[in-house]
């Protein structure tokens, strides 16, 4: 065991990308011999011989520094961000931490763009390649069983760019194409249930006044068990998401681990592991988020207060480019297979143990460094 102990405060009990990452980081640290307590667990009595480290896996502006500094020797922020610059509400808090850990180069650049001067450590996410594997049983699609399948997994919010995905698919593919798009999504609030999301998508389709009968889409916004999710990845010939910004993009990792190539924006945290050999990368232009939020095409929750501030930029994909890449994938299933095989090989080394080693090294570097507390 180490001569320090860690209290982890984060969404370890949530069924979300952040929750998955939070649990995986804790388990990875424990496998490295680090004594880690979680959230509400007792802090115990102070031990003068043991350094006490808080890892705060939550929005930085929500911390109570006065309370935490009274107990902990070091406080490390573990976070992620999606645009070129942090939201204004975060910035006054950032340099009060002893260090910050982020999962990708993209995140580090956003920190530096925002004036973060404390040490920034890249502690990558991982993916369980024993859970997500090409051998997972494929889902059965009944009447769609012989079709080329695109899959997309995302939260129903503007940053994920659902309108460009839908528009590209509807405009590019008709009932004469042997194709299917499966969307697994969820709302940002309890009111955004499956029916409300389907209604928004239906109204959006009507607004486009399409002059043809489009290819089918299956939309599910209900909880999905892990076996079904894994089988969805392996059933697909390609995963597609023209996201505007990702800190990492966990579904990209899960898809590649499953042997399924990715059609994705060529900008964001995912570029630490997506390449032209394992993916179909989409060209983009960096734009102020408010431009697309004010568009008639915007159909999902925008989160203006976080993303549409002065100086922020994210990636906008041209719908024509997405249509071309989806058609290329559809016409070349063997190319998809080759890219998927390469993706599987590429992510085999992206283990959570690697993340645990990196995080342990970051903690110990912070302990060795004497900084003046603010």
Check residue 370 and give its pLDDT. Answer: 64
- What end-to-end distance do the CA atoms of the chain give, in Å? 30
Range of the domain at 328: 142-348
List, in order, residues 6 or more apart from 53 with CB less than 8 Å away: 4, 5, 6, 7, 72, 73, 74, 75, 76, 363, 366, 367
DSSP strand pairing (279-282 vs 120-122): unpaired
Check residue 44 and give its pLDDT. Answer: 55
Question: CB atoms < 10 A from the CB of 277, how many?
Answer: 13
With contact defined as beta carbons under 8 Å apart, do 269 and 104 qualify?
A: yes
- Predicted structure pTM score: 0.95
Longest dimension (CA), the chain: 74
Residue 16 placed within a domain: yes
Residue 135 placed within a domain: no
Both 194 and 92 in one domain: the answer is: no
Both 78 and 148 in one domain: the answer is: no
Both 105 and 214 in one domain: the answer is: no
Residue 373 placed within a domain: no
Phi, psi of 64 (to 5 degrees): -105, 95
With contact defined as beta carbons under 8 Å apart, do 164 and 183 qualify?
A: no
Check residue 340 and give its pLDDT. Answer: 98
Both 109 and 248 in one domain: the answer is: no
Residue pLDDT, tens place only, 130-147: 999 999 999 999 899 899
Residue 359 placed within a domain: yes
With contact defined as beta carbons under 8 Å apart, do 60 and 87 qualify?
A: no
Both 189 and 337 in one domain: the answer is: yes
Both 234 and 362 in one domain: the answer is: no
Residue 166 placed within a domain: yes
List, in order, residues 6 or more apart from 123 with CB less than 8 Å away: 25, 78, 101, 102, 103, 355, 358, 359, 362
Residue 132 placed within a domain: no
What's the burial of 223, exposed, middle or buried (CB within 10 Å: 0-12/13-18/19+)?
exposed
Both 256 and 327 in one domain: the answer is: yes
Residue 157 placed within a domain: yes
Tally of domains in the chain: 2
Q: Which of 128, 48, 63, 70 is nearest to 97 (CA)?
A: 63
Residue pLDDT, tens place only, 73-84: 999 999 999 999
Using the 8-state DSSP alphabet, how is residue 227 labeled? H
DSSP H or E stretch at residue 153: strand 148-155
With contact defined as beta carbons under 8 Å apart, do 41 and 7 qualify?
A: yes
Residue 133 placed within a domain: no
Question: How would DSSP label each residue in 183-223?
Answer: EEEE-SSTT--HHHHHHHHHHHHHHHT-SSPBPPEEEE-S-
State which residues of the chain have pLDDT below 50: 42, 372-374
Check residue 191 and give its pLDDT. Answer: 82
Query: Helix or strand or coil: residue 113?
Result: helix
Residue pLDDT, tens place only, 76-119: 999 999 999 999 999 999 999 999 999 999 999 999 999 999 99
Check residue 40 and give its pLDDT. Answer: 60
Both 104 and 160 in one domain: the answer is: no
Query: Helix or strand or coil: residue 21?
Result: helix
Query: Helix or strand or coil: residue 155?
Result: strand
Both 298 and 158 in one domain: the answer is: yes
Question: How would DSSP label each residue in 307-355?
Answer: HSSTT--EEEE-HHHHHHHHHHHHH-HHHHHHHHHHHHHHHTT--HHHH
Q: Which of 256, 69, 31 is nearest to 151 (CA)?
A: 256
Both 155 and 251 in one domain: the answer is: yes
Both 46 and 110 in one domain: the answer is: yes
Both 200 and 253 in one domain: the answer is: yes
């Amino acid at each position: 065991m180490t001569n320090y102990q860690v209290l982890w405060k984060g969404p370890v009990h949530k069924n979300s990308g952040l929750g998955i990452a939070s649990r995986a980081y804790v388990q990875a640290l424990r496998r490295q011999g680090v004594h880690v307590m979680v959230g509400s667990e007792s802090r115990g009595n102070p031990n003068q011989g043991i350094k006490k480290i808080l890892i705060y896996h939550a929005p930085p502006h929500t911390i109570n520094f006065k309370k935490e500094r009274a107990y902990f020797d070091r406080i490390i922020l573990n976070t992620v961000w999606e645009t070129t610059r942090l939201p204004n509400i975060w910035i006054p808090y950032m340099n009060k931490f002893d260090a910050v850990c982020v999962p990708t180069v993209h995140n580090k650049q956003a920190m530096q763009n925002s004036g973060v001067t404390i040490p920034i450590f890249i502690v990558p996410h991982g993916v369980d390649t024993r859970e997500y594997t090409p051998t997972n049983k494929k889902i059965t699609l009944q009447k769609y069983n012989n079709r080329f399948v695109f899959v997309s997994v995302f939260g129903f919010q503007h940053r994920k760019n659902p309108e460009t995905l839908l528009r590209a698919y509807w405009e590019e593919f008709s009932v004469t194409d042997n194709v299917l798009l499966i969307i697994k999504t969820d709302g940002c609030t309890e009111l955004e249930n499956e029916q409300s999301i389907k209604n928004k998508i239906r109204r959006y389709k009507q607004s486009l006044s399409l002059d043809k009968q489009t290819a089918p889409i299956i939309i599910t916004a209900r909880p999905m068990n892990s076996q079904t999710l894994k089988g969805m990845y392996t059933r697909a010939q390609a995963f597609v998401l023209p996201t505007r910004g990702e800190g990492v993009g966990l579904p990209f990792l899960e898809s590649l681990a499953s042997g399924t190539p990715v059609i994705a924006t060529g900008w964001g945290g995912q570029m630490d592991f997506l390449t032209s050999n394992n993916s179909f990368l989409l060209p983009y232009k960096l734009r102020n988020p408010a431009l697309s939020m004010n568009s008639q095409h915007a159909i999902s929750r925008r989160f203006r207060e976080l993303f549409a501030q002065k100086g922020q930029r994210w990636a906008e994909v041209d719908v024509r480019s997405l249509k071309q890449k989806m058609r290329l994938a559809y016409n070349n299933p063997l190319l998809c297979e080759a890219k998927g095989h390469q993706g599987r090989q590429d992510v085999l080394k992206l283990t959570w143990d690697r993340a645990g080693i990196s995080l342990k090294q970051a903690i110990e570097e912070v302990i060795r460094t004497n900084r003046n507390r603010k």
